[in-house]
Structure 1
């Protein structure tokens, strides 16, 4: 989206977004065009959750680890599995 090279941690980000889709039963920024949605996710970070208090602390932490905007701070698959 930003025109920068990416590595395996982009898949971790995508996994976090898919987890949000599963929890919310909806795609983040569904009312936007696909390109606009990509840009919003890339620039605004984690999409606003509708009812974050309904999520367990473990799931909130998991999403936070997956959806770090800075790739260096985003957890690896190995770290997520521990």
Structure 2
């Protein structure tokens, strides 16, 4: 998390980053921490910037519930659950606003082609 002088927050993780271009708009390496990995990363599919949207959704769940989904599981089990189980669910969805539930649904779409982009989330 970064705080600028204009009180603007941005989320950044430069531990694992790559520059994408029009010619090379997808990656295929499997790196990162399993709990925040998108399904396409876990299943070794080509992926693009929308993996960060998935991770944003996981961070949202973590902020709401105080722990990351599948926090008691091993990394290998988490990867299996993400690749076969679909989207993690809120424990108490009725305690979260409809707007926030919709936002998380758009972030945590398992199909990366249907997952919203950053531009779509900002509208």
TM-score, structure 2 as length reference: 0.63
More helix per residue:
1
Aligned residue in 1 for 2:107: 66
For 2:83 and 2:102, the matched residues in 1 are separated by: 20
Following TM superposition, by how much is the alpha carbon of 1:35 offset from its aligned partner in structure 2, in angstroms? 2.5
For 1:71 and 1:48, the matched residues in 2 are separated by: 18
Gaps of 5+ in 1: none
What number of residue pairs does the alignment pair up?
A: 82
Gaps of 5+ in 2: 1-41
Aligned residue in 2 for 1:76: 117
User: Which runs of 4 or more aligned residues in structure 1 lie more than 3 Å from their structure 2 counterparts after TM superposition?
Assistant: none
Aligned residue in 2 for 1:32: 73
SS of 1:71's equivalent in the other structure is: coil
State which structure, 1 or 2, has the greater radius of gyration over its C-alpha atoms. Answer: 2
SS of 2:69's equivalent in the other structure is: coil
2:59 to 18, 37, 44: 18
